[in-house]
Amino acid sequence: MKAKHTDNILRLAREIQEIAKGLAPGKRHQIMNRCSRVNVLIRKTKDMDTEDNFTSRQIADRYNAKKAVFEAMCQGRKVSFLDSREFEVSEFHTTICKIRKDIDTKSLPWELKDRWISFGKYGKRCKEYWLERRMEP
């Protein structure tokens, strides 16, 4: 619902509540309660719009991150979860899985390669990924 319409509905509900103050107690409470219910529903709608925008932004951010990782690998770069901050990805392995799926489903001329690497003071391990062009048969 557009903000202009929402504001108009809220304003009209307040006006109705003011008019209802002059009515008998039974009718007054009935109208006041119904106006309050309208206000609650409008606020819930506003909250849902905000959540939808947030979700849409998250989806767009994930798509852009996947695209950036894929482009970096297409340019010959090797990447790992150690690059998560650069690409603004919280679950790097999920991004790689989606890239692998895209390569398969879209029959792209790439092969996703990986190997274990060690990093850090205690020799922790993670996978490093890169792309190699497929040889045409």
* pLDDT (tens digit per residue) in 37-53: 887 877 776 665 555 56
With a pLDDT cut of 70, the percent of the chain lying above it is 88
pLDDT at 53: 64
Global pTM reads: 0.60
Give the pLDDT band of residue 118 (cuts 50, 70, 90).
very high
The answer, yes or no, to whether residue 77 has pLDDT greater than 80, is yes
Three-state SS for 64? helix
Assigned token pair, 110: 């790439």
User: Considering the chain, what is the average pLDDT of its residues?
Assistant: 87
Over range 83-107, report the average pLDDT: 94
Assigned token pair, 56: 């849409």
Greater pLDDT, 88 or 57: 88
pLDDT per residue as tens digits for the range 53-75: 667 788 888 999 999 999 999 99
Over range 1-24, report the average pLDDT: 80
As to burial, measured by CB atoms within 10 angstroms (0-12 exposed, 13-18 middle, 19+ buried), residue 129 is buried
